[in-house]
Structure 1
Amino acid sequence: MQLDVFIDELKSISDKDDILDFCRKKVLHGTPFVFRDRENDFYDFQKRISLQFNVAFHEVYITGSGKLGFSPLKKKEFDLDSDIDVAIISGDLFDNILELIRNYQMSLRASKRNVSEQEIKLYHQFLEYVAIGWIRPDKLPLSFQIENLKNAWFDFFDSISYGRSEVGDYKVTAGIFKSYRHFELYTFSGINDLNKSLNLSS
């Protein structure tokens, strides 16, 4: 689907159930644009990530412009400057990361960590995402990233970026959703907000 067709079709609907169906059909379902006509490569990419984090391959999704071929929010086509945004759907992985966060939070409470005001601000942003069922490791304070997640997370996704995996010459980033329901609700929220803005501007 082209960007202008996507926008026109979304703009033509207003019922929330229809918007949810649109979100499921056009945004969540199907082979990502970046893997168009490369189903086997897509499976291998999913499997690579699933083995790293011990999740099922079908719990690894590509979102954003890498999925659609464009960003409807930014009105921008997918290109070599675009990131590949991965969503891992795993309650167990989500809970494992939260256990690390619990230890970090206890250290903060005991004043055993010297954390800057900027890192505290970033940490609060991280917790806002956790509250809606989404862990974004990029929002963790730098000191915490290096100590707990660097080898298991950032180094891994760097290792499959820029031509070092099936996805191609792109940066790969990722987050963890507690459940598919959390993933769907977050995606629907963005599409619903876009629908509202399109109809307000018409």
Structure 2
Amino acid sequence: MDYAGAIERAAVAKRPLLAVCSELFLLGPTHGFAGWEEESFALFHEIADFFQVSVRAIHVCGSAKLGFSPTKKTQFTAGSSDLDVAVVDPQCFQRYVERIVHETNGYRDRSAFPRKDDGRSLYEDFKYYMAKGMLRPDLMPLIAERVEWARFFAGLSRKHSRRFKRISAAVYLSDSLFAMKQMSALQQYINEKEFL
């Protein structure tokens, strides 16, 4: 699929960007899986099993999805590009949030949240993304679930290193919040290309 062309046509037609993102990221084919469909099905099932969700909850974003990164201005290259996965499932999102609430005593104990090089806690960053319906493992507190998540994706990355440099995932509360997350990248791309 010509994603760049689809984005340009949508921009010229002044289609709502949320609808465009929903179509492209939730319904469109994944560029990075072309010629690799059977392996991708197995990969999706592995990820779905790990998160205990339906395989339909697994989506791809970034250059692996579109064939190019709208923000980094790079093309997808098998073996050296990442695979960014989105797990879109409200029950999965809730399970992780409940564990985090429990482990942090209702966020009163923030000592398990990682810190930046300057010593600042990533709790505010975690809260910012969670409020947008997205859980990023790198911002989560250092609890067993985060360790298991990191271990699982490190193993997947090694297993599929000929196809992807690294495989990572974020969990989203809903389809619309996942699509909204993609909007800023596409809007930036549209603005820079001056389609309008």
- TM-score when normalising by structure 1: 0.79
The one-letter amino acid of 2:186's match is I
Q: 2:113, 2:123 within 8 Å by CA — same for their partners in 1?
A: no
Deviations 1:90-143 (A, max 9, x none): 1111111111221344276268x4878636532211110000000001123xxx
Q: Shift of the alpha carbon at 1:32?
A: 1.1
Q: Which residue of 2 aligns with 1:123?
A: 123
SS at match of 1:191: helix
Structure with more of its chain in helix, by fraction: 1
Identity, in percent, stands at: 25
Q: Which residue of 1 aligns with 2:136?
A: 136
Which of 54, 60, 65 is the matching residue for 1:56?
54
**Any unmatched runs of 5+ in structure 2?**
none
The one-letter amino acid of 2:76's match is F
**Any unmatched runs of 5+ in structure 1?**
none
Q: Shift of the alpha carbon at 1:154?
A: 0.3
Q: Which residue of 2 aligns with 1:152?
A: 148
Q: Identify if the C-alpha distance between structure 1 residues 190 and 45 changes in structure 2 by more than 3 Å, giving closer, same or farther.
A: same
Q: Shift of the alpha carbon at 1:67?
A: 0.9
Q: 2:82, 2:166 within 8 Å by CA — same for their partners in 1?
A: yes
Q: Identify if the C-alpha distance between structure 1 residues 52 and 76 changes in structure 2 by more than 3 Å, giving closer, same or farther.
A: same
Paired positions, count = 193
Q: Which has the larger radius of gyration?
A: 1
Q: Identify if the C-alpha distance between structure 1 residues 77 and 114 changes in structure 2 by more than 3 Å, giving closer, same or farther.
A: closer
Q: 2:137, 2:146 within 8 Å by CA — same for their partners in 1?
A: no
Q: Which residue of 2 aligns with 1:170?
A: 165
SS at match of 2:157: coil
- TM-score when normalising by structure 2: 0.81
**Does 2:183 match 1:182?**
no
SS at match of 2:71: coil
SS at match of 1:155: helix
- Give the aligned CA root-mean-square deviation in angstroms: 3.0
Q: Which residue of 2 aligns with 1:71?
A: 69
